[in-house]
Amino acid sequence: MLFRDRFTLHRAHQDGDRFEYSRLTHGCRVEESNTLIESRKVGACRDARANVRVMSHDLLVIGGGAAGVFSAITCAEHSNKSVVIVEKTSQLLQKVKISGGGRCNVTHACFEPRPLSGHYPRGEKSLIGPFNRFGAAETVEWFESRGVQLKTEADGRMFPNTDSSQTIVDALLDAARTAGVAIRTEQGVNKISSNGDAFEVDVNTGKSTSARNVLIATGGTRSAAGARLAASLGHHLLPATPSLFTFKIDDARIDGLAGLAVPDAEVRIHESKLASQGPVLVTHWGMSGPGILKISAWGARELAERNYTFDISVNWLPGIDAVALISDLRTSRAKQQLATRSPVDTLPKRLWLRMLAHAEVHESTTWSQLGKANARTLATELTNATFTVDGKSTNKAEFVTCGGVSRDEINFKTMESKLVEGLYFAGEVIDVDGITGGFNFQNAWTNGYHAGMAIAASTR
């Protein structure tokens, strides 16, 4: 007799991925290795006496990051399907934990789909539809309905009120636990195959599991190891390239000023159309901050082709006519020495002193003594200072990778592969990435939601 039945798990019991039938007609026990959360649901089963293969799970999620966990929760909350997350490290959500300097920039207060999608150098058009159905407002609502209040900072970034990423990790793990998602850690998937009806997934412990649907959410790494699972099923991969990286600049004007921030600056890359505006931060090895990270994201591929060697112009006073400003100060501060104060409050005095040194203007010079040639040099330093970039930050400071599974091969309504039925994708494994500000997590929540809902509704 062949039967298909759903049943409640009474007791978790470990022995690989095999199901042990405690009652052959109505129930069974499932065995999960490294299970942190017991599954209360298991998939369609067949009679053990018939000695046929057992379908272990309706959905197997590869990767326990933001995208994988969100898809798993969504599917489990909206269906009776059995869901398991297989994660290669010892803990889920490790990037969520370290994100946003330990505060987790969950999303961005940008509630219209089109402007929101404009923050994705790769994926802009593909995300408009998905954001219509699950955008930043739905993210806020999702977390608030689970008791997590979010606050908005002046620049639009949204963080938990607690200023602790642990709040987000706890909310997601609680939701997974409540929805009955099974979790296996320290199991890296190294092979996947499909026979049309189901997938066979091999993990590095030597075991394999079958599942009707598989979601690949392995994130974006330079090695693209996770994305290669998709490639093994016929998908094309765009080369993995760093996005959101800082610029290495060796220049006396900023040397030793690490930590100094200019709240609003304009950055332009020479011999390119790339430009951005935002806060710029001086680091030990060059420049960072949203103004730099943004341009690194938009220029990820172009800058890689230029081997991260190029010149930039920095306007430290966007919107201000420096020539007019200096001419004004020559009258209004006539007797004051140039070194006494920076010309405008937003420009840190330490940076201004470096500009004076670079322009070879003595600090004791008063504004009325400033010659025309020096005035011109200072105006250039203030609004069009050239710096040579010679490299980018090391891997540790790279936040996001662009590249991954080609967007053309994914249906963005469901996140299902256009090539392999039952195969889904979410998060950074896809060739989608956003600029800094909460956009990368928003992409993970949005993809995760649509994939989870589609699998919940699927008849597979």
Ligand X SMILES: Cc1cc2nc3c(=O)[nH]c(=O)nc-3n(C[C@H](O)[C@H](O)[C@H](O)COP(=O)(O)OP(=O)(O)OC[C@H]3O[C@@H](n4cnc5c(N)ncnc54)[C@H](O)[C@@H]3O)c2cc1C
> Where does this chain bind ligand X (CB under 6 A)?
62-68, 86-89, 94-95, 98-100, 104-105, 188-189, 217-219, 225-226, 399-400, 427-429, 438-441, 444
Could you count the other beta carbons within 10 Å of the beta carbon of residue 24?
13
Report the SS3 class of residue 35.
Answer: strand
Residue 447 vs 458, nearer CB to ligand X: 447
> Whole-number minimum distance, CB 20 to ligand X, in Å?
25
Identity of the residue, 264 or 398, whose beta carbon is nearer to ligand X in the bound complex: 398
State how far the Cα of 52 lies from the Cα of 82, in Å rounded to an integer. Answer: 19
CB of 91 to ligand X, least distance (A): 8
Please compute Rg for the chain using Cα positions: 27
- Residue closer to ligand X by CB (options 54, 93) is 93
CB of 299: closest distance to ligand X in angstroms?
Answer: 18
Strands (E) in 273-392, as ranges, are: 275-282, 286-288, 309-315, 385-390
Question: Of the two residues 160 and 427, which places its CB atom closer to ligand X in the complex?
Answer: 427
Q: In this complex, which beta carbon is closest to ligand X, that of residue 45 or of residue 84?
A: 84
Classify 350 as helix, strand or coil: helix
Euclidean distance between CA atoms 219 and 120, whole angstroms? 16
Q: State the minimum distance, in angstroms, from the CB of residue 191 to ligand X.
A: 10
> Which residue number, 30 or 106, has a Cβ lying nearer to ligand X?
106
Query: β-strand 286-288 against 400-405: which pairing, if any?
Result: unpaired
Q: How far is 356 from 370, CA to CA, in rounded Å?
A: 11
Q: Please state, in angstroms and rounded to a whole number, the distance separating the CA atoms of residues 224 and 193.
A: 18
Q: Is the dihedral of CA 387, 390, 392, 394 positive or negative?
A: negative
Task: Work out how close the CB of 86 gets to ligand X at its nearest, in angstroms, rounded to a whole number.
Answer: 5
User: What is the rounded CA–CA span in Å between residue 235 and residue 408?
Assistant: 10
What is the smallest separation between the CB atom of 425 and ligand X, expressed in angstroms? 9
CB-wise, 244 or 295, nearer to ligand X?
A: 244
User: Which residue's C-beta sits nearest to ligand X?
Assistant: 65
Residues 6+ apart with CB under 8 A from 30: 9, 12, 13, 19, 39, 42, 56, 182
Query: Least distance (Å) from ligand X to the CB of residue 219?
Result: 2
